[in-house]
């Protein structure tokens, strides 16, 4: 492989500059949010704003170190990196619980979240795997292995439990879809086991992403009505649970779907209509039942958060307790108005008022919105969108599948964090505890995002040296 004459050759300074700007805005917001008059210096390392500067410094140092490593190393050692990351996720399960979860590895106040770094490991191994098997992705073995790369860390993280990180790992499904990973092999194998059935291609496998949204819809619908009691006016005294209402609806829908298929399919394929409709009905019922079962297994506070988000409870205690953050967050965001109250002039979303708990971490968007208003938040959101679009541009100009998959993985991880975090602050998403990239206070998230980004910058800088 050809070596560049300078290690800075090919660096995307535009992307790097945008990321550093985010870090600067973040530390300024942390300073304003957590400001203590008795410790006015931003370099007071006993305060969170001083610690944030330390975390940023360490993160940039680690980023430079990984940038100095030849990009081929990440490909060669993808599996050892992944295995090491999974071992850390196993070890953390035996650590003392903190805030109801075993997500931290360390001593005292010093520690890291292995789940944050597991995202990087999964992205690297997935990129390596899809690059090696990009011509053989339509086999059952390869599809299962590709999904195993993301399912293993998801299971370990669910055991902590860490709902935020768990959700972020689903972003890899979109990356796989982009690279042509469908579920045709699995679906075909199952369907063609039926006597007299021979499908060459399945609608399920080809249209994975649309079906994923259908699954989300069914999941939400199940949660909305599963606890309801349905009465039948035609038969006084007859009631049944909301879940069975979902069952009846799916059955009727499947019948309608069957008759539509009968009209659309050719005479030779009409027998397939009942098979497709039946399989669809079974899968839909399985999804709703799984969602209902999984929901009941959640911790009480997690169930309450979901119920509040979906408007399923009028429990005033829950609204004042579990949904305390969101209620205060939206108030703080709205108080900023069009142009905001000005820097250091926020009164609702700072640590001193304690109106918005976790305002320097998960809800850091609130103090920024209060101080800078609609104009400031528009700029911040535009900056994030610019970074995401820039990464997509970087992904599409790569010559190698490995580089492209990794770049799209970074984009999707950042998009999930950005969308969910801001969504929590404006009541568009349930509270699941997820930081705003390069902005929220925290060592693990800042280091993991920085390492992730500098690996991308390194891969992009050597893109002309790699051909596959």
Query: DSSP letters along 203-244, please?
Result: HHHHTHHHHHHHHHHHHHHHHHHTT-EEE-TTSTT-EEEHHH
Cβ 1 vs Cβ 327: under 8 Å: no
Give residue 125's domain range. 1-181+326-468
Predicted structure pTM score: 0.77
Q: Do 359 and 449 fall into the same domain?
A: yes
pLDDT band at 136 (very low <50, low <70, confident <90, very high): low
The total of structural domains in the chain comes to: 2
| In a domain? residue 351 | yes
Answer whether residue 320 shows pLDDT above 60.
no
| In a domain? residue 386 | yes
pLDDT band at 81 (very low <50, low <70, confident <90, very high): very high
Position 340 scores a pLDDT of 86
| In a domain? residue 321 | no
Cβ 288 vs Cβ 222: under 8 Å: yes
| In a domain? residue 317 | no
Answer whether residue 3 shows pLDDT above 50.
no
pLDDT tens digits, one per residue of 200-247? 555 555 555 566 667 767 776 776 666 655 555 555 555 555 666 677
Given 312, 336, 359, the domain boundary residue is 312
Position 119 scores a pLDDT of 94
| In a domain? residue 320 | no
Share of the chain above pLDDT 70, in %: 69
| Strand 229-231, strand 239-241: pairing | antiparallel
Cβ 87 vs Cβ 154: under 8 Å: no
Burial (0-12, 13-18, 19+ Cβ within 10 Å), 382: exposed
Mean pLDDT rounded to a whole number for the chain? 78
Position 243 scores a pLDDT of 63
Given 312, 336, 361, the domain boundary residue is 312
Q: Do 207 and 337 fall into the same domain?
A: no
> Which whole number is the average pLDDT over 79-103?
83
Q: Do 17 and 155 fall into the same domain?
A: yes
Q: Which of 413, 417, 447, 444 is nearest to 432 (CA)?
A: 417
Q: Do 2 and 80 fall into the same domain?
A: yes
- Residues 260-284 as b/e (b if ≥16 CB within 10 A, e otherwise) read ebbeeeeeeeeebbebbbebbbebb
Position 28 scores a pLDDT of 93
Measured distance CA(160)–CA(153) in Å, rounded: 11
CA-CA distances (angstroms) from residue 130 to 75, 178, 409?
11, 11, 12
Q: Do 175 and 200 fall into the same domain?
A: no
Measured distance CA(261)–CA(155) in Å, rounded: 38
Measured distance CA(136)–CA(143) in Å, rounded: 9
3-state SS, residue 302:
helix
Q: Do 219 and 279 fall into the same domain?
A: yes
User: Per the structure block, which two tokens stand in for 304?
Assistant: 């309450």
Q: Do 203 and 286 fall into the same domain?
A: yes
Q: Which residue has the tokens 């009846």?
A: 248
pLDDT tens digits, one per residue of 400-451? 889 999 999 999 999 999 998 888 888 777 777 789 999 998 888 899 999 9
pLDDT tens digits, one per residue of 151-196? 899 988 888 878 788 889 988 988 887 887 766 666 665 655 555 5
- Can you list the positions of beta strands (E) in 26-148? 105-107, 110-112
| In a domain? residue 319 | no
Q: Do 304 and 399 fall into the same domain?
A: no
Cβ 168 vs Cβ 416: under 8 Å: yes
| In a domain? residue 439 | yes
| In a domain? residue 318 | no
Q: Do 464 and 405 fall into the same domain?
A: yes
Q: Do 383 and 449 fall into the same domain?
A: yes
Burial (0-12, 13-18, 19+ Cβ within 10 Å), 304: buried
pLDDT band at 4 (very low <50, low <70, confident <90, very high): very low
User: Per the structure block, which two tokens stand in for 284?
Assistant: 């839909």
Q: Do 142 and 25 fall into the same domain?
A: yes
Given 284, 312, 340, the domain boundary residue is 312
Q: Do 270 and 165 fall into the same domain?
A: no
């Amino acid at each position: 492989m050809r070596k560049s004459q300078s290690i800075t050759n090919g660096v995307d300074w535009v992307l790097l500059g945008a990321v550093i700007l985010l870090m600067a805005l973040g530390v300024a917001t942390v300073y304003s949010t957590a400001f203590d008059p008795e410790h006015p210096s931003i370099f007071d390392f006993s305060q969170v704003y001083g610690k944030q500067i330390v975390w940023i410094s360490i993160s940039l140092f680690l980023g430079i170190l990984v940038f100095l490593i030849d990009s081929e190393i990440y490909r060669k050692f993808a599996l050892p990196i992944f295995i090491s990351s999974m071992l850390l996720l196993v070890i953390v399960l035996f650590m003392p619980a903190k805030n109801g979860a075993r997500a931290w590895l360390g001593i005292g106040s010093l520690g890291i979240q292995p789940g944050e770094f597991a995202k990087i490991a999964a992205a690297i191994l997935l990129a390596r795997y899809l690059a090696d098997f990009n011509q053989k992705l339509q086999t059952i073995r390869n599809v299962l292995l590709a999904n195993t790369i993301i399912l293993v860390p998801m299971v370990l993280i669910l055991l902590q439990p860490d709902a935020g990180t768990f959700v972020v790992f689903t972003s890899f499904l979109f990356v796989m879809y982009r690279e042509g990973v469908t579920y045709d092999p699995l679906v075909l194998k199952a369907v063609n086991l039926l006597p007299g059935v021979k499908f060459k291609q399945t609608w399920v496998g080809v249209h994975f992403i649309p079906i994923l949204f259908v699954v989300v819809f069914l999941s939400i619908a199940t949660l909305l009505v599963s606890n309801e009691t349905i009465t039948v006016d035609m038969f006084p005294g007859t009631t049944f649970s909301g879940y069975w209402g979902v069952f009846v609806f799916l059955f009727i829908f499947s019948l309608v779907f069957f008759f539509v298929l009968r009209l659309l399919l050719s005479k030779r394929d009409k027998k397939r209509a009942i098979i497709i409709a039946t399989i669809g009905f079974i899968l839909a019922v399985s999804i709703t039942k799984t969602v209902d079962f999984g929901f009941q297994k959640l911790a009480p506070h997690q169930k309450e958060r979901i119920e509040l988000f979906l408007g399923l409870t009028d429990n005033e205690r829950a609204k004042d307790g579990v949904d305390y953050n969101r209620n205060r967050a939206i108030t703080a965001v709205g108080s900023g108005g069009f142009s905001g109250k000005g820097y250091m002039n926020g009164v609702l979303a700072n640590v001193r008022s304690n109106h918005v708990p976790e305002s320097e971490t998960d809800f850091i968007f609130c103090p920024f919105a209060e101080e800078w208003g609609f104009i400031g938040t528009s700029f911040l959101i535009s900056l994030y969108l610019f970074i995401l679009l820039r990464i997509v541009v970087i992904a599409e100009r790569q010559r190698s599948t490995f580089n492209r998959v990794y770049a799209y993985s970074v984009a999707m991880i950042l998009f999930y964090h950005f969308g969910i975090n801001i969504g929590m602050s404006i009541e568009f998403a349930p509270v699941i505890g997820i930081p705003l990239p390069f902005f929220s206070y925290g060592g693990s998230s800042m280091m993991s995002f920085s390492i992730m980004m500098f690996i991308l910058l390194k891969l992009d800088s050597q893109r002309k040296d790699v051909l596959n």
